[in-house]
Structure 1
Amino acid sequence: MATTNYSYLLHGPRVALRHVRRQDYDELTALAQESAEMLRPWLGTRDHTPEAFESYLERIEQPTHEGFVICLNGTGAIVGGININNIVRGALQSGTVGYTAYASTSGRGYMTEGLRLVLQLAFGQLALHRLEANIRPDNTSSLNLVKRLGFQREGYSTAFQFVNGEWRDHERWAITTEMAQAEAPLPT
């Protein structure tokens, strides 16, 4: 069971956002295993070994990556995960967002609330200007998530990502700090 002695970055009405920690391995592995069928079409088969998790932790310790978990307020139980990958500074100030919901808590709005917190952090403390999400055209839940938060479709990327043994097409969606503020003004 999750503990509540973590330092949260931001709180929403039902969930809080914090960085992924080494101690999350067991909980994240159990969630991924219980959600394997739900996630397989979008993520493929994933390696959940301690070595794979260590590699992930090393990646998110780099300045080009951020890794977060979405936790329930009160219990601290993990209900989702969000990464900001490929962060580019300088004139771009952008990154690519990826996220994972879990079968036991899917469909309750936790990802919407959690991604809204990540947008607040990305466009505030992290000083990014733009986030992009690349989503398979048949992933209706994921497309609906970004639409709810004000992302706009920018294009179509043919053979974008290798998933389940094939190069898969993706739709390219993005949001800027100005678009996010117009959608739901961020606190200052």
Structure 2
Amino acid sequence: MNGQELRIDKQILKTIRMKYLLYVPSTYEESDSKKWPLILYLHGAGGNGTQTDAIRREGLPAHVENERNFPFIVVAPQCPLGAFWNTREDEVLAILDELEEHWLIDPDRVYLTGFSMGAYGVWQLAEHHPERFAAIAPVSGGGDPAHARKLKDMPAWIFHGMDDQVIGSTESEKIAEAMRGVGAEVELTLYPGMGHDCWKKVYANEGLYRWFLEHASSPQRMARTGETWMEAYQEMDHHQPQQEKESLDESLSTRPEWANGESALGLYHDGTERLRVELVSESDVSDLFAHELKNKAFFLQFTATREDSFYTYEEQVARVRRSVDAAAADTRYSFMIRERQSGQLIGGVDLMDVKRGSLQSAWIGYSIDGDYNGKGYMTEAVRFVVRHAFEVLALHRIEAGVMPHNQGSLRVLEKAGFEREGLCRRNVNINGRWQDHVLLAIVNPKDMAEEE
């Protein structure tokens, strides 16, 4: 018998039924011409069923329920009992179609996130329909590394708790490595001391929503409009200073593995795969002196006013000796950043004003050679030093101050887990002028876990 090759071409109608929660900003006006960004949230297995209260208690809905002015439309479908998201893609896409037809939604700014079972659904839905989403953010889940081939152009920020006993963080690490291997824009944030419910940390972080708004399905449209999280909040009468949109050129790098030795993601006990990050020593004086002279004009834009005597070899010798003594006295730790391959000194990170007793805190500051700016080096270095501060120095809290217009520096801190806490008015004299600074801070996750 010879097999015949045939094809059926017939339309079949399908009836779909699915409940969903919809959150609309309080300033939404049907008569307005403004189109809103939308976030599609896929819940975990605990949300399956017919009672939508089950999905109000977790993930993004739990966060949005307490937010009066959240500048996104949010939709959260409910998967039926016994089903998984990969079997309900038609329903989810139909909900999106209906919302885009009847609500003022910007189709170029539709974002996809999900928790646990929903994170697996994020990877599959994004792979099957990448044209529908501008960026994705899976939380506490995983995905087949094979997804990476079709998602190399999809920006992804992946989150996982390192103490997750339900789905191991290696599941997120594997897909992150695969995405990185095809050249995708991918960020992996691992939370030390946190378990499966790290969504509480993820969805409370405004940095995620700023990151979403940096991406659009159409790059040309993003370059033309480029609304930021801050601008969205200003329209809701949040009295915060307007800030410039951050450059999209800064490369993303790996969230550190908080363990000794070499990690699966390329972090070492003395730095990262690309960098050595070590405490300053007297052998660094010559390189440090040359580094300061080379970047004098560049650093004046961001650092406190310096006397001319700072730019002498003798002062750099004294500076290094003070730093060595301060580290021995547990009051300040100065780290030098060098390219691992070449040994070139390219910057520094300082933990300053270390307080013990009931505070257990410090301030962080950093600088990088102008020629190496915007390449992700400082992000790696700051994360490594934060790890050192929490795991080795046992600090509870690290604070930082950044000028509002310095969006690159703000992104470095936010990607390291810092959160914005306020604005300090005219508090630092920089290049002859008193400048405002955004106050940011990060708390040791292990301390947070113990309190919970």
For normalisation by structure 2, the TM-score amounts to: 0.37
Q: Distance in 2 between matches of 1:180 and 1:162?
A: 34
Q: Deviation at 1:118?
A: 0.2
Partner of 1:54: 317
Q: Deviation at 1:93?
A: 0.6
Q: Distance in 2 between matches of 1:181 and 1:111?
A: 26
Which residue among 26, 30, 33 is the counterpart of 2:293?
Answer: 33
Q: Tell me if the contact between 2:389 and 2:395 (Cα under 8 Å) persists in the aligned partners.
A: yes
Amino acid at match of 1:79: I
Partner of 2:280: 20
Q: Tell me if the contact between 2:402 and 2:439 (Cα under 8 Å) persists in the aligned partners.
A: yes
1:43 aligns with 2:303: yes
Answer 1 or 2: which has greater strand percent. Answer: 1
Alignment of 1:20-169 (within 5 A): 20-43=280-303, 46=306, 47-60=310-323, 61-62=325-326, 63-169=330-436
Structure 1 unpaired stretches of 5+: 1-7, 183-188
Shift in CA distance, 44/125, structure 1 to aligned 2, threshold 3 Å = closer
Shift in CA distance, 179/112, structure 1 to aligned 2, threshold 3 Å = farther
Q: Deviation at 1:180?
A: 11
Q: Deviations over 1:95-144 (max 9, x none)?
A: 00000010122221111111111011000111111111111111122111
Amino acid at match of 1:53: Q
The secondary structure found in structure 1 opposite 2:311 is: coil
Q: Distance in 1 between matches of 2:425 and 2:396?
A: 25
Q: Tell me if the contact between 1:82 and 1:97 (Cα under 8 Å) persists in the aligned partners.
A: yes
Q: Distance in 1 between matches of 2:314 and 2:429?
A: 22
Partner of 1:5: none
Q: Percent identity over the alignment? A: 33
Q: Tell which has more relative contact order, 1 or 2 (C-alpha 8 A, sep 6+).
A: 1
Q: Tell me if the contact between 1:150 and 1:180 (Cα under 8 Å) persists in the aligned partners.
A: no
The secondary structure found in structure 2 opposite 1:28 is: helix
Count, aligned residues: 175
Amino acid at match of 1:22: E
The secondary structure found in structure 1 opposite 2:442 is: strand
Amino acid at match of 1:85: M
Q: Distance in 2 between matches of 1:180 and 1:56?
A: 34
Q: Deviation at 1:17?
A: 1.1
Q: Distance in 2 between matches of 1:170 and 1:87?
A: 20
Runs of 4+ in structure 1 deviating by more than 3 angstroms, as ranges, are 179-182
Shift in CA distance, 167/92, structure 1 to aligned 2, threshold 3 Å = same
Q: Deviation at 1:181?
A: 9.4
Q: Distance in 1 between matches of 2:439 and 2:315?
A: 27
Q: Deviation at 1:32?
A: 2.1
Which residue among 169, 176, 180 is the counterpart of 2:443?
Answer: 176
Q: Deviations over 1:43-77 (max 9, x none)?
A: 15542213322342243222210100111113322
Q: Distance in 1 between matches of 2:448 and 2:344?
A: 29
The secondary structure found in structure 2 opposite 1:144 is: helix
Q: Deviations over 1:28-52 (max 9, x none)?
A: 2222222223221111554221332
